[in-house]
Amino acid sequence: NNVLLEVKDLKKWFPIKGSGFGKEKAFVKAVDGVSFTLNRSETLGIVGESGCGKSTMGRSVLRLIEPTEGQIIYEGEDIMTLDRKALRAKRKEFQMMFQDPYASLNPRMTVGEIIGEPLEIQTDMNSKEREAKVLEIMDLVGLNTQYIRRYPHEFSGGQRQRIGIARAIILQPKLLVCDEPVSALDVSIQAQIINLMEDLQHHMGIAFMFISHDLSVVRHISDRVAVMYLGHVVEYAEKDELYNNPSHPYTIALLSVIPTVEKTKREKIILQGDLPSPANPPSGCCFHTRCYKAQQICKECTPELKDLGNGHMCACHFPGK
Ligand code: SF4
Ligand code: MG
C-alpha cells in the first residue's frame, strides 16, 4: 500500500470569545472539511493565500493542535483515536518544520543539544550514542561537525534551517510537515535548502507536506499540489496537470499572476474583493463572492470535490476554462 496518510473531512473550528452564553455559539472555521491523501516518499504541496487555513491544517494533521473532527488515517490507523501516550510514541514518525528556525531553536542550547534532543526524549540512547548520531546527521545536512558546541545565533539563516532539518529528521520520520520552510530565506539559499530536502527525501524516503504561499517554490518541489481557499481544498492534482491545466477559477486566478517561462501568455485575472472572514464564510461555494464565473447555483449549493479524470480533483460547478 503506497498511501501513507489519508485525511478525511478534517475540521478545525476555533470558538469565538464571548459567543455562546445566550448568544449563538460562533466559530472561526479555519479548516472546514479537508480531504486528501499523501503517498509514501511523496511531496504534496499545499498552497493558498495567507489566512486560507494551510498552517492550521498542517498542525491539525499532526494533532499539534486538536482537530474539531475528521479522520487522520496514518498507515491504516486513525490517529484521532490515539490517547496522549500512544500519540507521543507515534510522534517519532511525524515531525514538523517551521518558517523561522530561529524562533523554534532554544538560544541557550548548543546545536548538538538541539539536534539531539528528540533522541533524548524518544529513545534510550546514551549520550555517547546520541552524539555519534548527531554528528552523522550534521554531516548529512551539510553542517560542519566541528560546530557541534556552538549556539544558534552563531549561524546564518540558511544554516539554522539546516539545524531545524537535522532535528526534524534525526528520528527518521516517515512524514515531515513543512510550514513555509524557505520563505524567510534569500532566493539563493532557498534553492540550497530545497535541494537538500529533495536529497533527504530520496535518501530516507520521507513524505513531505510542503506548505507555502509561493507557487513557484511549490511547483519545483511537489509531486502533487493542493490549493486551499478559506479552509477548503478547492483543487488538487499532479503538479504538471495542476499548473498546465488549472480548472478551479481560484487556481486559474492564482496562476495567472505568477511570472512563467512558458510562451503561452495567460490573461491576468485579478481577484476582486477581500478574502471573506472564516467566521462568516459565504453560503454555497466559499469562493462565489470573488469568482468571475459565479452563477446563482454557486450561492446555494456547495460543490463537492470531483475527479475530473486521473485524480485531478476540483470543487466547482463549472470547472475548466
Ligand atoms: Fe466559481 Fe461557482 Fe465554481 Fe465556486 S462553484 S468556483 S463560484 S464557478
Ligand atoms: Mg501560515
Q: 145-199 pLDDT, tens per residue?
A: 999 999 999 999 899 999 999 999 999 999 999 999 888 888 889 999 999 999 9
Assess whether pLDDT exceeds 60 at residue 263: no
Cβ atoms of 226 and 235 closer than 8 Å: yes
Q: Which-ligand-closest: CA of 181?
A: 2
Q: Which-ligand-closest: CA of 269?
A: 1
Give CA separation, 152 vs 114, 166, 167, 316, in Å: 9, 13, 13, 47
DSSP states along 64-85: SS--SEEEEEETTEEGGG--HH
User: In testing the pocket of ligand 1, which one of 233, 295, 313 has its CB within 8 Å of the most ligand atoms?
Assistant: 295
User: In testing the pocket of ligand 1, which one of 227, 228, 230, 287 has its CB within 8 Å of the most ligand atoms?
Assistant: 287
Nearest-angstrom CA–CA distance, 167 and 233:
30
Mean pLDDT confidence for 308-315? 95
Superfamily of domain 3-222: P-loop containing nucleotide triphosphate hydrolases (3.40.50.300)
46 alpha carbon – ligand 2 mean position (Å):
11
Ligand 1 atom 5: the closest Cα is on which residue?
316
146 alpha carbon – ligand 2 mean position (Å):
34
What pLDDT does 272 receive? 84
What pLDDT does 183 receive? 87
User: In testing the pocket of ligand 1, which one of 232, 285, 295 has its CB within 8 Å of the most ligand atoms?
Assistant: 285
Tens-place pLDDT, residues 228-252: 999 999 999 999 999 999 999 999 9
Strand partners, 177: 96, 209
52 alpha carbon – ligand 1 mean position (Å):
17
Helices of type H across the chain: 54-61, 84-90, 101-104, 111-122, 127-140, 157-169, 187-204, 215-221, 239-244, 249-256, 296-300
What pTM was computed for the model? 0.92
Ligand 1 cavity residues, CB under 6 Å: 248-249, 285, 287-288, 291, 293-294, 298, 303, 316-318
Nearest-angstrom CA–CA distance, 295 and 303:
12
Q: Which-ligand-closest: CA of 287?
A: 1
211 alpha carbon – ligand 2 mean position (Å):
8
43 alpha carbon – ligand 2 mean position (Å):
18
Ligand 1 atom 3: the closest Cα is on which residue?
316
Q: Kindly tell me the burial class for residue 103, based on how many C-beta atoms sit within 10 Å of its own C-beta (0-12, 13-18, 19 or more).
A: exposed
Ligand 1 atom 7: the closest Cα is on which residue?
288
Tens-place pLDDT, residues 105-156: 888 999 999 999 999 999 999 999 999 999 999 999 999 999 999 999 999 9
